[in-house]
Amino acid sequence: MNDQYSNFRGFAIIPLPAFRDNYLWLLRRGQDAAVVDPGDAAVVEDYLVQHGLELRAILLTHHHADHVGGVAELVARRDIPVFGPAAADIAETNRPVVEGDEAVLDRLGIRFRVLEVPGHTATHVAYLAPGILFPGDTLFSAGCGRLLGGTAAQLHASLGRLAALPEETAVYCTHEYTLANLAFAHAAEPENRERDAWETECRALRDAGRPTLPSTIERERRVNPFLRTSEPAVVEAVAAHAGKRPATSEECFAALRAWKDVF
């Protein structure tokens, strides 16, 4: 995979595929690196060795094994900061973070602001720098995470918060779910030309062996039904599926999420 897959202000952001559909995002400036949600240590170590890099920090968004499973091995021989949500009680976290904290990666020249975005889990966080968002499993392209510890109300609020970020913000989601999410988006909002154009682009990317990510906040506002639960077409589709018209955007979101769970 192209080492210069995504460049931002002097550093590269590189997707390391893992498991069936995860991306472990590696940030690199010169020979210094950090990694987000390293569920598989071997994937990270192989890349570091191949490119002669030193791992300087780890960022964790939540406690699920496919996001933290490689941390213990990665830190066994390294004294490096491991940022993670304070309330998640992840054993290897030595820099617990809460809303408003900063994750400072000095060697890479990056400062991330911590956002608490519960819903997928009750203790989920995201990391935001100007123009860059690592949302973990909260936000996917054309989709969002399942409710695995948090509530629909929490996830609806968290997604609303992310949707309000600057439109040019690049969204580095942690799973290659885009085409599957777009299939559901057709049911949730049958007519959406921008969504259809994005699907065409994504199919070409996957046919070329490339990720569909990062997306952008602007794109997700236009194509992601979970960010569009006030749109009349989405409300109508949810009402038709559920047999009851949602009274609020939050109710629409909860019904939409439940629908996606069985789609």
Q: What is the pLDDT of residues 29-68, one digit of tens each?
A: 999 999 999 999 999 999 999 999 999 999 999 999 999 9
Among 63, 124, 156, 175, the active-site one is 175
| Token code pair at residue 67 | 């996001």
- Domain assignment present for 14: yes
Q: Identify whether 137 is part of a domain.
A: yes
Residue 121 lies in a domain: yes
Question: Annotated catalytic, 63?
Answer: no
Q: Please tell me the predicted confidence (pLDDT) of residue 242.
A: 96
Q: Could you give the CA distance from residue 230 to residue 165 in angstroms, rounded to a whole number?
A: 18
What predicted TM-score, i.e. pTM, was given to this entire model? Answer: 0.96
Please provide the size of the chain in residues. 263
The string of pLDDT tens digits covering residues 168-227 is 999 999 999 999 999 999 999 999 999 999 999 999 999 999 999 999 999 999 999 999
Q: Tell me if 1 is assigned to some domain.
A: no
One-letter amino acid for residue 122 of the chain: A
| Catalytic residue from among 32, 40, 64, 156 | 64
Our answer to whether residue 66 is catalytic in this structure is yes
Domain tally, the chain: 1
* Residue 259 CB contacts under 8 Å (≥ 6 apart), including other chains: 184, 187, 188, 238, 241, 242
3-state secondary structure of 33: strand
Q: Is 175 a catalytic residue?
A: yes
- Domain limits for position 78: 6-261
Which residue has tokens 């939540």? Answer: 62
Has residue 139 been placed in a domain?
yes
Interval 132-147 mean pLDDT: 98
Whether 220 maps to a domain, the answer reads yes
CATH number for the domain harbouring residue 23? 3.60.15.10
Residue 18 placed within a domain = yes
Establish whether 124 is a catalytic residue.
Answer: no
Q: What is 117-137 written as a DSSP string?
A: --SSSTT-EEEEETTEEE-TT
